[in-house]
Structure 1
Amino acid sequence: MTNLKPCAPAPADLEGDLASLRGDCARMAPHWAVPDRIASLPVSPSLIHGVTVPSKSARLLDAMSDYGD
């Protein structure tokens, strides 16, 4: 079942300055968990295979000057 009760919007300080923005960020920071850094090892090119690109996407990229020319 879906909860159809509306949630109260977060208070917005539309006239705030940089100091109030920094305060908002400082209050939100504890809610964000920092993942452990995972050191990835290089992969041999011989192990990279099986990549397919749909023909529609390939034609689109080929038509773009940044990618196809």
Structure 2
Amino acid sequence: MTNLKIQGSVPLDLEGGLVELRGDCARMVPHWAPPARVTPLPVSPSLIHGVTVPVGSARLLDAMSDYGD
């Protein structure tokens, strides 16, 4: 069994208001830096192989009017 230890203090007031929530989010912004945007390179259709669709999924999509008609 793992012994989980909580480091730091746990806030006693779990019913904080919107102002407190916005302040918490503002303090976390530096930790949420977006990753560098990666643009995928196009792949030749001849290199795409081995894709299979389960029969149940194919039937489900076939039964949907947006896809099957």
Normalising by structure 1, we get a TM-score of: 0.63
User: Please, which runs of 5 or more residues in structure 2 have no aligned partner?
Assistant: none
Seq. identity, %? 74
**SS at 2:52's partner residue?**
coil
Which residue matches 1:61? 61
CA RMSD, aligned part only? 2.9
Aligned residues: 66
Change (3 A) 1:12 1:32: farther
**What CA deviation, in whole Å up to 9, does each residue of 1:6-51 have, x standing for no partner?**
8x468443xx45x665444322211213212223211111111111
TM-score by length of 2: 0.63
List runs of 5+ in structure 1 lacking aligned partners: none
Alignment of 1:1-69 (within 5 A): 1-3=1-3, 8=10, 11-13=14-16, 16=17, 22-69=22-69
